[in-house]
Chains A and B, each alone.
Chain A
Amino acid sequence: SQQGEEDPQALSIQEGENATMNCSYKTSINNLQWYRQNSGRGLVHLILIRSNEREKHSGRLRVTLDTSKKSSSLLITASRAADTASYFCATAKGAQKLVFGQGTRLTINP
């Protein structure tokens, strides 16, 4: 299975701290995507990183991809209460459908 697995399953930090979540997968991929889901809502796309890219930034988000280790990390800097959500990685092999991981539940404490 090429399913991504997020680590940790849950993360609780203080507002202002950085949050790092990891995603590991098993087979070669075309791209890896990160999504956010607020409680009881739909998913929102954050970043897509292709297999030939190593790092991408979007605002306070930084995503890295290490294809040799088959892993990716999502860093959220200077966290805010509004960042409280579940974060999912999704992997795609070639043109095949996305496969979502189980998610990391992030809680930002005031």
Chain B
Amino acid sequence: DGGITQSPKYLFRKEGQNVTLSCEQNLNHDAMYWYRQDPGQGLRLIYYSQIVNDFQKGDIAEGYSVSREKKESFPLTVTSAQKNPTAFYLCASSIGGAGLSETQYFGPGTRLLVL
């Protein structure tokens, strides 16, 4: 089964805690993305990566960090510096190689809640 998986489906964070959201793809895509979606809103780009060991900040990177050590994996860490982390987080990938404007394929999302 080809696709993008995200885990966990729900994640609870305590005050001052860092949490990591997992994103894995087996589509052999070069580019991967992390988006944040607030209720009734569109998607806002947090970070993106066009190739292994390289990533760039998106529009709302403050309080988040990522790594891209493997082509298949692009984990997102929500740090304690992110004061309003409650949101729905979506990971996506695209073929890459021709810029970032191609079709994106999305995972099922992780809902992060603050205790």
Contact = CB atoms under 8 A, between A and B. Distances in A.
Contact of B100 (A33, A42, A45, A98): A98
A20 interface: no
A63 B3 CA distance: 26
Interface stretch (B14-22, B60-68, B106-114): B106-114
Among A88, A94, A97, A105, the most chain B Cβ lie within 10 Å of the Cβ of A97
A100 B100 contact: no
Contact of B42 (A33, A95, A101): A101
Interface string A76-97: 0000000000001000111111
B41 interface: yes
Contacts, number: 62
A109 B33 CA distance: 35
Category for how many chain A residues contact B: 20 to 34
Contacts of B41: 102-103
B60 to A, nearest CB: 13
Contacts of B98: 95
Interface in B60-115: 88, 90, 92, 98-109, 111
Contacts of B45: 97
Contacts of A48: 102-103
Interface of A: 30-31, 33, 35, 40-45, 48, 88, 92-98, 100-103, 105
